[in-house]
Chain A
């Protein structure tokens, strides 16, 4: 029972971390597109790439939470 509670709280924290990270990334990306609209394509490509890295870290945490529940 404690494992399920821990996994639930952990998954919530992981989501908070990922949202904070990607939120800051999106804010910086949108601001730099506003400053220089010609670079929008480059910035968008880099934004998607770095969002994938941040999401990767968040999903490492998710995998550990799932392991806590399923074992």
Chain B
């Protein structure tokens, strides 16, 4: 391994800039234009008449990234050459005709002639029909096309199915919940055992965090009632923090990068606001005091929109931050594959590899910080919104009334 000429700053800059130039030059030289009709891998659908590269579908970066970010009924762990090691999760389907049905894996579901699985969605079908695939795609409520066998199936019309399966995301939530229960019951037991002594071990790590949530997040915003809301705020904070961190580790699934999960968290906050809101809060939304009467309907619309969008913004902020980080890391890694032309120009891949991996590591470190900061921001805004809802008459409205 080359040793860097360390003590001369000019030589160090020179050396690093040469590494950069070399890497860029290798990757630019390495990428070859697509060769039509070359190779024997699957032909991808050419978009808008452009010549398409012969890339197997599962290696295309956009599909790979989306597949990684989305939920799935099989927890794919690794591939040993041709065989893939995956944990197959069960399907639990509620059929309006036949009640609950259980299938032990996607394979078992595909064997059943009444169901068809396509892109991780399940459909209840009546049978195969001979309809032109393009015609079938124009009527998606009646037909479903299986792109692998090029068959068209008719959907059963008066049967609704609801998918209640335990997917990868569901299992990951249970794992995070289990970890949280184990950690916090252990901490509670340690507190009881070491009453009056200095904290030790896991307790000494979590105590400043819990006190931070109480003193800097709950107490300033909740006007004296913070003890009521501390369990909810602490649960929210640690659930989001641990879920974000779990999403960054290799074998785990990414749950906060899923809009359903963040929407549910925001819905919990919304429910907390609605349950605890005092009459004054509702007055502010429905009949805003202190403005001329012709403005009150306008203020109603504005306040109502604000009331709905504040929790929605919480959900989108968390989802976008976490999935953007994952997206960037996977895009940088996919860049190695793109510039290496999927195996056809190894020097292209080797050239971009140091830069790509360095940037990926940098973004990973930023993502660890973002995991904590986003949990903190979600909890802080929840505390602020609940504080606004439970605010009683004595605080903060004397100035508005004094003007009249």
Contact = CB atoms under 8 A, between A and B. Distances in A.
B63 to A, nearest CB: 11
Contacts of A52: 321, 370, 373-374, 376-377
A49 interface: yes
By size class, the interface of chain B is: 10 to 19
B316 A63 contact: yes
Contacts of B316: 56, 59-60, 63
Nearest to A55: B321
Contacts of B380: 49
A56 B377 contact: yes
Interface string B227-261: 00000000000000000000000000000000000
A62 B324 contact: yes
Given A1-B48, A70-B66, A59 B377 contact: no
Nearest to A48: B373
B284 interface: no
Q: SS class of chain B's interface: helix, strand, loop or mixed? A: helix
Interface string B316-346: 1101110010000000000000000000000
A1 B50 CA distance: 11
A63 B374 contact: no
A49 B320 contact: no
B16 interface: no
Contacts of A48: 373
B85 interface: no
B319 A56 contact: no
A56 B48 contact: no
A56 B376 contact: no
Contact of A63 (B66, B320, B370): B320
A63 B324 CA distance: 9
B286 interface: no
Interface string B369-384: 0100110110010000
A52 B370 CA distance: 8
A53 B376 CA distance: 11
A57 B103 CA distance: 43
B321 A59 contact: yes
B367 to A, nearest CB: 12
A59 B48 contact: no
Contacts of A63: 316, 319-320
A49 B321 contact: no
B66 A56 contact: no
A52 B366 CA distance: 12
Interface in B298-326: 313, 316-317, 319-321, 324
A60 B320 contact: yes
B227 to A, nearest CB: 24
B383 to A, nearest CB: 13
A48 B376 CA distance: 10
Interface string B40-67: 0000000010000000000000000010
Contacts of A70: 66
Interface in A17-49: 48-49
B66 to A, nearest CB: 7
Nearest to B325: A59
Given A60-B316, A70-B66, A53 B321 contact: no
Given A56-B313, A59-B324, A63-B319, 7 more contacts: A48-B373, A56-B317, A56-B320, A56-B321, A59-B320, A60-B320, A62-B320
Interface of A: 1, 48-49, 52-53, 55-56, 59-60, 62-63, 70
Shortest beta-carbon contacts, A-B, top 6: A59-B320, A56-B317, A52-B377, A63-B320, A52-B373, A59-B324
Interface of B: 48, 66, 313, 316-317, 319-321, 324, 370, 373-374, 376-377, 380
29 contacts: A1-B48, A48-B373, A49-B376, A49-B377, A49-B380, A52-B370, A52-B373, A52-B376, A53-B377, A55-B321, A56-B313, A56-B316, A56-B317, A56-B320, A56-B321, A56-B377, A59-B316, A59-B317, A59-B320, A59-B321, A59-B324, A60-B313, A60-B316, A60-B317, A62-B324, A63-B316, A63-B319, A63-B320, A70-B66
